[in-house]
Amino acid sequence: MSTSSDPPVPRGTAHRKRLGFLSFGHWQAAPGSRTPTAADSLQQTVELAVAAEELGVDGAYVRVHHFARQIAAPFPLLAAMAARTSRIELGTGVIDMRYENPLYMAEEAATADLLSRGRLQLGVSRGSPEPAYRGSEAFGYVPPEGATAADVARAKTSLFRQAIAGAGVVRADVGGAPSEATLAIQPRSPGLEDRIWWGSGSSDTAVWAGREGMNLMSSTLLLEETGVPFDELQASQIHAFREAWDAAGWKREPRVSVSRSVIPILDDTDRRLFGRDGGADQVGHLDGALSRFGRTYTGEPDVIAAELARDRAVREADTILLTVPNQLGVEHNARLLEAVVRHVAPAIGWSPATATA
């Protein structure tokens, strides 16, 4: 694994650099929170998508968690966002496939994608550590004997992808007997199968995603630790993914997203809430592995711009997702996004989207 301090030459890509926000959708009736209820969180997520589109931002993404005061059922929310916007990509980062019925999810995803006129970008994965003990079993999904959580998530993802691509998944009925003919899930939204992303927490899972032909979604942590800075570790993950993609012979150009915590300091309120130095990477144990967590970029916009321009993984990715402090409300987060759009994003090669982008 490379530890060179020289920035890599970004791979040529047919995709322009894209910028999106990623909301965890927290709600809590606590002092200072602008999202005391679930209804507030959902409605404000829609409103922030509208505001982001007006700013020229490319994507509005939501985290999905169960048994927590966060967004849990993404497809009704994505459909509501689609109804209020016309251009911005709408996505998830990520759906925990252990909790999903793949065929019902295929129906929901196709329906939401049709309503959005083909703007869904769905991140799926095994999911992250959660508050519930074996929570997916409460949903009725008990893993087969000897199967791991990763095995279950991958098997369900495979069936989901087959279903949205139009494969027959059940035999037709002929007078109470099974026919040789098979039926596909309806409706189908053509092209959705190319807009599925795997949320990868390691180089090994990135390689698997590349072999399987899914786009790569990498967050602010990696479930591995080699002693190199986070951005270099993540850039190596991206390289491994692209090598696996090419070796598998996929014809289309894959997309790669990385998440970053970026907080420009614009006034005294920002300084009071976020004025502490973002510091360096953090290393700790998560999900049974020694993991590396990326730093927070906070400070004056010009300083953040220079730092992000040197971030190796940001240079390699075609999509940058900014995690937003959603409990501070739509106005605050729209102002944060505007500051990034005006003062930070141009330094990483981003330019505003147009209606035809």
Average pLDDT, the chain: 89
Beta carbons within 8 Å of 295's beta carbon, 6+ residues apart: 230, 261, 278, 279, 280, 281, 282
Compute the distance between CA of residue 322 and CA of residue 24 in angstroms, rounded to an integer.
11
Statement: residue 293 has pLDDT above 60: no
Beta bridge partners of 21: 60, 322
Give the pLDDT score at 288.
55
Write the pLDDT tens digit of every residue in 8-33: 445 544 568 999 999 999 999 999 89
Compute the distance between CA of residue 292 and CA of residue 224 in angstroms, rounded to an integer.
6
Q: Is 129 helix (H, G, I), strand (E, B) or coil?
A: coil
> 210, 243 in Cβ contact below 8 A?
yes
Token pair, residue 73, equals 């059922």
Write the pLDDT tens digit of every residue in 143-169: 999 999 999 999 999 999 999 999 999
Give the pLDDT score at 283.
46
Statement: residue 355 has pLDDT above 80: no
What 8-state DSSP symbol labels residue 15?
Answer: S
Rg (CA), the chain: 20
Give the pLDDT score at 270.
74
Q: Whole-model pTM?
A: 0.90
Compute the distance between CA of residue 350 and CA of residue 357 in angstroms, rounded to an integer.
13
Statement: residue 3 has pLDDT above 90: no
Compute the distance between CA of residue 339 and CA of residue 345 in angstroms, rounded to an integer.
9
Write the pLDDT tens digit of every residue in 314-354: 999 999 999 999 999 999 999 999 999 999 999 999 988 65
Give the pLDDT score at 195.
98
Give the pLDDT score at 87.
97
Mean pLDDT of 248-270: 90
Write the pLDDT tens digit of every residue in 29-65: 999 899 999 999 999 999 999 999 999 999 999 999 9
Beta bridge partners of 296: 261
Comparing 4 with 297, the larger pLDDT belongs to 297
Supply the DSSP string of 284-337, one letter for each residue. Answer: EEETTEEEEEPPEEEE-HHHHHHHHHT-HHHHH-SEEEEEE-GGGHHHHHHHHH
> How many angstroms separate the Cα of 286 from the Cα of each of 26, 68, 129, 290?
21, 18, 8, 6
Comparing 327 with 283, the larger pLDDT belongs to 327
Compute the distance between CA of residue 321 and CA of residue 22 in angstroms, rounded to an integer.
6
The percentage of residues in the chain with a pLDDT greater than 90, rounded to a whole number, is 75
Token pair, residue 274, equals 């976020």
> How many angstroms separate the Cα of 241 from the Cα of each of 75, 135, 209, 260, 317?
28, 30, 7, 19, 12
Mean pLDDT of 286-291: 50
What is the sign, positive or negative, of the torsion defined by CA atoms of 298, 300, 302, 306?
A: negative
Write the pLDDT tens digit of every residue in 77-120: 999 999 999 999 999 999 999 999 999 999 999 999 999 999 99
Give the pLDDT score at 302.
92
196: part of which helix (H) or strand (E)?
strand 196-199
CA 132 to chain centre: 22
The percentage of residues in the chain with a pLDDT greater than 70, rounded to a whole number, is 86
Statement: residue 123 has pLDDT above 80: yes
Give the pLDDT score at 221.
64
